[in-house]
Amino acid sequence: MWLRPQSLGGPSGYIIVRGNSMRPTLVPGDLVVVQKERNYRIGQVVTYRIPDGEFRGQRIIHRIVGGSGETGFTMLGDNKADADLWHPKKPDIVGRQVVRLPGLGRFLVFLRSPAVFAALAAGIAFSITMTWKPRGPGGVPRKTRREPADA
């Protein structure tokens, strides 16, 4: 229940870190689990959806450094000098960081690649083919090899 994604009615959101803006706290390839909260405060690392403009809907994970949920938070990456252009309000926030899983995001991206998916599907098909036994009437296995003829 705790790890069920928000898209399925659960409390958790997931983000794979892609850039360097949160170094050294978060590095590319980390998988971060976030959860929605009633209130957010300065110092918390949160994921938010860009509220407007050309990049609307894209998710960013940065630290709250000012503002409020009603007027809009001021966001800043730990490895950046300037605050974000966007000021997300409480509804724009996906959730607060609760767990960091180092490197797991890289593994998930690898698993989702078409070549890996095709290889897994081929392996499953091969396994089924190799273990399949022909059946005769009534589900009795058929003999698959010929008996030697008597001389």
Q: For residue 124, is it within any domain? A: no
**Tokens at residue 25, please?**
């706290």
In tens, the pLDDT along 48-91 reads: 999 878 888 899 999 999 999 999 999 999 999 999 999 999 99
Residue range 6-18: average pLDDT? 87
Nearest to 78, CA basis, from 12, 36, 14, 19: 19
Query: Which residue bears the tokens 């690649």?
Result: 113
Burial class (CB in 10 A: 0-12, 13-18, 19+), 89: middle
3-state class percentages of the chain: helix first, strand second, coil last, to nearest 5: 25, 30, 50
Q: Is residue 71 part of a domain?
A: yes
CATH number (domain holding residue 88): 2.10.109.10
81 located within any domain: yes
Q: How many residues does the chain have?
A: 151
Rounded to 5 degrees, what are φ and ψ at 111? -65, -30
- Tell me the per-residue pLDDT of 23-44, one tens digit each, with 9 for 90 and over: 999 999 999 999 999 999 999 9
pLDDT attached to residue 74? 98
| pTM passes above 0.75 | no
Whether 41 is in a domain gets the answer yes
Domain, as residue range, for 72: 6-105
- For residue 24, whether the previous peptide bond is cis, meaning omega lies within 30 degrees of 0, is yes
| Domain presence at residue 110 | no
Q: Is residue 129 assigned to a domain?
A: no
Task: Please say whether the beta carbons of 68 and 58 come within 8 A.
Answer: no
Number of structural domains found in the chain? 1
Q: Does residue 135 fall inside a structural domain? A: no
Let me know if residue 118 belongs to a domain: no
Q: What is the mean predicted confidence (pLDDT) over 94-100? A: 96
Is 112's pLDDT higher than 90?
no
